[in-house]
């Protein structure tokens, strides 16, 4: 033992790995998405470029700084990184310096010589404590599993960021749609209130019946109720935004756009294999699969002997002044080997559990890919369907407006009853409200498709 033990130990052995080879898993979906047409920009663009509304951009930025759920996800990553550091530390010997001193007195009654004896002992040593020689890769497998869990937690953090961005956007779009429906209800209320005043004058003059007057009054009260409902919906949407961004909504935000004002960019889907790179949930499932595979290596290594070394080198003396003088060198070396002989089937069962968990992670990985493919396909189908519906309802609103104008003109000329006007106005309001809801569904679908394609992170 001419050199400190901790210098020569790493050169003594080279461990092997008992982890099984991780075979390539074929993607259980087709390469191309059904109905994959349209889209002007790639799905990997950053959210700052995907969203075009300056008010929404500011809200998302605030949310990424203050949201508590996202903060928890980040802390989980920090915890997993620290846990990996703990696991990695086991690959290296624990080296420590120790110093001790003692002084004992044996009374004359207990001394063989019949006189009191004073004894002193001092020592200083540098040593290695219970370092496991990783002959069969058990420690390295556990370390690899911890590393993959760390990578999985970081992928989960990215997924939490993408989910938060989409939730803030959807809450904002809901608030925008409530504003537009409030404006629609106000216009309707103003129109029917004016009609009510004119009808009341004609009723007082005896030109119309009370039934017409009450029919107009029903419209007025209905418009008031609709306005109150949309005001409540807007307040709830504002509360949801404040919760998601983790703080109060600033008063100096830029102005917002309407639902038809180009709030988002239209992304193209590409091919399904790109999801393996973009989607954080797929990357998370892959790392969890790799961690399960590494645990199999640790379970296999448990069947083989485990060798640990404990040793130290230093100096010892009965006199503190002679502690570092020649001839005071001391050392200890205590290797230990443990061989599993009978454990009641523990190691065998532990290996079976590890192998089954790997198969579970394989199935989970494949299911995650299938779910991602379905989400993208549904988003593409929704984009095509909603664009067609919006185009049709824009024509319907135009036709209903013309119908209402004609019915109103004929009523004022005394040709038709007010029931024609009432029916036309209700149909126009329903068509306008449905158009707003479809526009809301379109931007929500665009955000969902962007999220399903990986969110550009």
Least confident of 52-66, 127-141, 275-289: 127-141
Of 15-29, 149-163, 183-197, 343-357, the one with minimum mean pLDDT is 15-29
Which of 81-90, 378-387, 429-438 is predicted least confidently?
Answer: 81-90
CATH number of 126's domain:
2.20.200.10
Whether residue 431 is predicted with pLDDT greater than 50 in this model: the reply is yes
Residue 330 and residue 372 share a domain: no
What mean pLDDT comes out for the span 195-209? 85
pLDDT value for 13: 46
How far, CA to CA in Å, does 221 sit from each of 122, 198, 224, 411? 98, 16, 5, 21
Give residue 321's pLDDT. 66
- 18-21 contacts, C-beta under 8 A, 24 or more apart: 18/136, 18/137, 18/138, 18/141, 18/296, 18/297, 18/300, 18/301, 19/137, 19/141, 19/144, 19/293, 19/294, 19/296, 19/297, 20/293, 20/296, 20/297
Give residue 136's pLDDT. Answer: 87
Flag whether 326 is in a domain.
yes
Can you tell me whether residue 41 is helix, strand or coil? Answer: strand
Same domain, 168 and 261: yes
Comparing 237 with 121, the larger pLDDT belongs to: 237
Instruction: Please check whether residues 73 and 27 belong to one and the same domain.
Output: yes
Q: What is the CA radius of gyration of the chain?
A: 38
Cα(298)–Cα(291) distance, rounded to whole angstroms? 11
Average pLDDT over residues 289-315: 89
- Highest mean pLDDT: which of 79-83, 93-97, 180-184? 180-184
In-domain check, residue 383: yes
The pLDDT of residue 205 is above 90: no
Using the predicted structure, report yes or no on whether residue 365 has a pLDDT greater than 90: yes
Residue 26 has pLDDT above 90, yes or no: no
pLDDT bucket at 41, cuts 50 / 70 / 90:
confident
For residue 333, the enclosing domain spans 94-133+305-339
Instruction: Tell me: do 173 and 309 sit in the same domain.
Output: no
Asked whether residue 344 is domain-assigned, the answer is no
**Among 321, 339, 357, residue at a domain's last position:** 339
- Domain shared by 377 and 412, yes or no: yes
Closest CA to 382 of 325, 441, 328: 441
Mean pLDDT to the nearest integer, 206-226: 88
* Strand-pair partners of 314: 125, 330
CA 95 to chain centre: 40
Same domain as 30, residue 152: yes
Residues 229, 279, single domain; the answer is: yes
Question: Between these two residues, 306 and 11, which has the higher pLDDT value?
Answer: 306
Residues 6+ apart with CB under 8 A from 352: none
CATH number for the domain spanning 441: value is 1.20.1600.10
Cα 250 from Cα 215, distance rounded (Å): 44
Instruction: Tell me, yes or no, whether 382 and 327 share the same domain.
Output: no
Residue 257 and residue 312 in one domain: no
| Residue 12: pLDDT over 60 | no
Q: Do 25 and 123 sit in the same domain of this protein?
A: no
Q: Quick one: pLDDT at residue 7? A: 42
Pairing, β 41-42 against β 267-268: parallel
Do 293 and 435 lie in a common domain?
yes
**Would residue 4 count as lying in a domain?**
no
At 334-344, the pLDDT tens digits run 888 888 888 88
Q: Is residue 457 part of a domain?
A: no
In a domain, 3, yes or no: no
284: in domain? yes
Q: What is the mean pLDDT of residues 381-390?
A: 92
Structure tokens at 73: 């996800």
pLDDT band at 176; cut points 50, 70, 90: very high
Q: Residue 249: inside a domain, yes or no? A: yes
Q: Label residue 354 by pLDDT band (50, 70, 90).
A: very high
Nearest 10 degrees: Cα torsion 373, 379, 381, 384: -150
Which of 278, 313, 339 is the last residue before a domain boundary?
A: 339
Number of domains within the chain: 2
The string of DSSP codes covering 69-86 is HHHHHHHHHHHHHHHHHH
Same domain, yes or no, for 35 and 109?
A: no
Q: How far apart are the first and last CA of the chain?
A: 55
- 304, pLDDT greater than 80: yes
Query: Whole-number mean pLDDT of the chain?
Result: 86
């Amino acid at each position: 033992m001419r050199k400190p033990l901790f210098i020569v130990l790493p050169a003594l052995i080279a461990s092997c790995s008992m982890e099984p080879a991780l075979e390539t898993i074929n993607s259980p979906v087709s390469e191309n998405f059904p109905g994959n047409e349209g889209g002007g920009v790639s799905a990997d663009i950053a959210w700052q470029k995907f969203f075009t509304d300056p008010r929404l951009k500011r809200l998302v930025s605030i949310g990424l700084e203050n949201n508590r759920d996202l903060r928890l996800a980040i802390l989980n990553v920090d915890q997993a990184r620290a846990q990996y550091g703990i696991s990695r530390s086991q690959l290296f010997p624990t080296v420590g310096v120790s110093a001790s001193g003692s002084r004992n007195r044996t009374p004359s009654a207990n001394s063989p010589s019949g006189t009191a004896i004073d004894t002193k002992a001092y020592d200083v040593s540098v040593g290695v404590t219970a370092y496991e020689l990783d002959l069969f890769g058990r420690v390295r497998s556990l370390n690899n599993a911890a590393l993959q869990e760390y990578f999985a937690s970081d992928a989960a953090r990215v997924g939490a960021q993408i989910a938060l961005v989409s939730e803030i956007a959807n809450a904002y779009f809901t608030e925008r749609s409530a504003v537009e429906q409030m404006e629609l209800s106000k216009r309707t209320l103003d129109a029917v209130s004016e009609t009510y005043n004119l009808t009341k004058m004609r009723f007082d003059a005896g030109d119309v019946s009370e039934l017409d007057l009450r029919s107009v009054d029903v419209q007025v009260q209905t418009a008031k109720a609709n306005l109150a409902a949309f005001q409540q919906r807007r307040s709830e949407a504002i509360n949801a935004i404040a919760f998601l961004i983790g703080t109060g909504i600033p008063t100096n935000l830029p102005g917002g756009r309407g639902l038809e004002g180009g709030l988002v960019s239209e992304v193209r889907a590409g091919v399904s294999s790109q999801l393996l790179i973009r989607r954080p949930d797929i990357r998370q499932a892959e790392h969890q699969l790799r961690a399960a595979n590494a645990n199999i290596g640790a379970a296999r290594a448990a069947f083989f002997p485990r060798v640990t070394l404990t040793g130290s080198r230093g100096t010892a003396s009965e006199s503190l002044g002679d502690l570092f003088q020649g001839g005071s060198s001391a050392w200890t070396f205590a290797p230990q080997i443990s061989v599993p002989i009978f454990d009641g089937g523990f190691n065998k069962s532990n290996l079976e559990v590890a192998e089954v968990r790997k198969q579970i992670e394989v199935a989970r990985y494949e299911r995650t890919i299938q779910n991602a493919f379905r989400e993208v396909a549904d988003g593409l189908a929704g984009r095509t369907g909603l664009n067609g519906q919006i185009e049709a309802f824009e024509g319907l609103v135009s036709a209903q407006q013309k119908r209402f104008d004609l019915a109103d003109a004929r009523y004022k000329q005394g040709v038709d009853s007010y029931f024609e006007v009432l029916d036309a106005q209700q149909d126009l309001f329903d068509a306008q409200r449905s158009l707003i809801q479809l526009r809301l569904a379109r931007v929500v679908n665009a955000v969902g498709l962007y999220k399903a394609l990986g969110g550009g992170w």
